[in-house]
Structure 1
């Protein structure tokens, strides 16, 4: 009976294998290579040992107010602050401290980190693994749209990290997330790359993330994502986690974007992105069929007098390539254009009426005076003071008006508000938007004189 059962089972197995579906089997493998043995230890110590002193701890202090200190310009005067003390009229201040990480990118002290790590800091202090000394750091520049910032310490012969071309990063690559979150030494976690070119996450405006399952510990923002050769492939920026802890999906800003933004921040104190002048959208499968089954960035609108308009691009064109790079989505076009400097000439490959065309476009700048006569600058939207505004506000002063302001911007934190009038920057009187644009060309912080409700006060911006 037992023999019959075994034979029947074999027959069933044989019939299943010989059925109508033919499965693909790999060649039989009988040998296995084991990563460890009793006399060997698998280790990445040799590649990580060199890079550990390239990772720094960043601690900041920033002044937090329960309300805007600039709601009334008199609060900027020490005499009036002392006069109102005890009457509940002056907002309370407190000092907030936070920690993050950074990566040394040059021997002479330049460090890259996340913008959100140092945003609003009054004081930045850096400590390096293996060095008991703390170093005061200066903010060189920041780019909120990519969440990158550059700080500098006055130290020589530092261990600068080696960059790897992030375009060559592949899904499945072994990676390490390094940080120095608590100032007591580095943390290292291991994982793999699970995706590249991730965008649409809503974390920052320009997203081209490397996704990893390596645990990013609290305070590791601004730290390094390293490949198994000990080379930098990204700057750790964010993590998605249901628990709020360190287990989740991590995102790192790729080194090619880091290098582009960091170079400009070091040289100019800011990063100005190129401007094409198109409204774009993605294609679904039905729309793709109308474009020879291609995917790219569909132009849904072209701004008047923009670089795209001058080059001849039209609504309905599908952009599928910039220079030698394939463009498969609207976000990819946005990120690609954002890596170029203004005035750069690029080759645009596009589909029109199912025919492939190529043309040259000289890019513009996204810091521009817009068509309705307004200027966009660091979260401010500025316009000329109109006659009605002067009459209703009984305003006799000249300047440019704050039409709108981003509440997360540096200008808002400095105390500027909607409907304020900017009358002077340093020693330059501001009468027009062009005056404002010329006065803000350099990277240094400046004294900005602001008119509000009959009084003028100054802020640093």
Structure 2
């Protein structure tokens, strides 16, 4: 027994001595050995878990963009976005004291023409919405121009002609005479939500077609006082001068808006841009193509909002909209409406503020009549007003 114990002790001593020598001279042998054992143990444990686990049938939705980013959306949308070069001709007076002298102007103005014709160019963007050559852009891009040059994404050029304009939404339709055009697809107006990815496509600073990416920051912005009728999409996608009239598309490349303006003290993007939503774009485009203009209702009143809501009989009947001015001989004037009247409802549709009221009146068909429920002092009554065509704002 003692002999066996002696042999065991000697074997353990030799083994420990061997371990000591190896750890001193080749320490990485030991670390790699134990790491290998740990990995094998982990793999066996992982296999056991997989074999014993039954996952439920869960539908895994693919990501909204793949590992290659938004290239599919870009491929679909970018061929439909064009560059617009709008030329204006203005008359300026030379900066010269000789021409500014009153005696010179009195005796020689009729014989000499010191005015100089100056050509100005403005850069913008547009979106092909129909393969026949219809392009939607911003009105301010082509306002008061003498010529329009349109450059396609494939490099082709064409002279553009104005089909119609709608200054009150800052939209215009231009037509070009070219074949093999790629028209953009419209998104569902109700498909956009705050937080969605969007892509802005245009020609910023004239550097060439550019796409930037951002999200929808807000919807329904209507207090910017940029246009008469507002319902802007706000986005942080970079929009810069030259992007006006360009496309704002979703992650599938469908049009959700027309880029229009930015909030900036420097003139460059600071992450607050605005686009006209697709429902307005579609409505204005269709009306211009059908009628050459957008026909809207008009009653001849200037509106304002009272600082706080006026409670009329109950909390269900609250209106802040009141008449600030009545245009002489306009339908409202003939119906007996006066400055200071609060407008409570139009054809049983309750009014909350002046923006809503203006939109409702604009949607009324010229040549028809409507009932307007108003409050004057303590009196509440209804007047019938004849709807006229809203004068075109230039």
- Greater CA radius of gyration, 1 or 2? 2
CA contact (8 A) 2:343 2:351 kept: no
Q: Which residue of 2 aligns with 1:50?
A: 76
Q: 1:287-326, aligned counterparts within 5 Å?
A: 287-288=310-311, 292=315, 295-296=318-319, 298-300=321-323, 316-319=341-344
How far is 1:186 from its partner?
2.3
Q: Which residue of 2 aligns with 1:93?
A: 117
Q: Which residue of 2 aligns with 1:280?
A: 303
Q: Which residue of 2 aligns with 1:423?
A: none
- Is 2:374 the partner of 1:337? no
**Higher RCO structure (Cα 8 Å, ≥6 apart):** 2
Give the direction of change, closer, same or farther, for the CA distance of 1:365–1:158 in structure 2 (3 Å limit): same
Q: Which residue of 1 aligns with 2:37?
A: none
Normalised to the residue count of structure 1, the TM-score between the two structures is 0.58
- Is 2:251 the partner of 1:225? no
Give the direction of change, closer, same or farther, for the CA distance of 1:52–1:357 in structure 2 (3 Å limit): farther
CA RMSD of aligned residues (A): 3.9
Q: Distance in 1 between matches of 2:371 and 2:211?
A: 42
CA contact (8 A) 1:320 1:327 kept: yes
Q: Which residue of 2 aligns with 1:102?
A: 126
Q: Of 191, 194, 212, which aligns to 2:214?
A: 191
How far is 1:200 from its partner?
3.1
Normalised to the residue count of structure 2, the TM-score between the two structures is 0.67
Deviations 1:45-91 (A, max 9, x none): 223321111110001222121159xxxxxxxxxxxxxxx89x86420
Q: Which residue of 2 aligns with 1:17?
A: none
Q: Which residue of 2 aligns with 1:177?
A: 200
Q: Which has the larger helix fraction? A: 2
Secondary structure of residue in 1 paired with 2:86: strand
Q: Distance in 1 between matches of 2:196 and 2:380?
A: 35
Secondary structure of residue in 2 paired with 1:50: helix
CA contact (8 A) 2:198 2:215 kept: yes
Secondary structure of residue in 2 paired with 1:98: strand
Structure 1 residue runs of 5 or longer lacking an equivalent are: 1-32, 69-83, 368-377, 380-408, 410-461
How far is 1:338 from its partner?
2.7
Secondary structure of residue in 2 paired with 1:221: coil
Q: How many residues align?
A: 317
Q: 1:64-213, aligned counterparts within 5 Å?
A: 64-67=90-93, 89-129=113-153, 131-166=154-189, 169-181=192-204, 185-213=208-236
Give the direction of change, closer, same or farther, for the CA distance of 1:156–1:361 in structure 2 (3 Å limit): farther
Q: Of 249, 257, 265, which aligns to 2:272?
A: 249
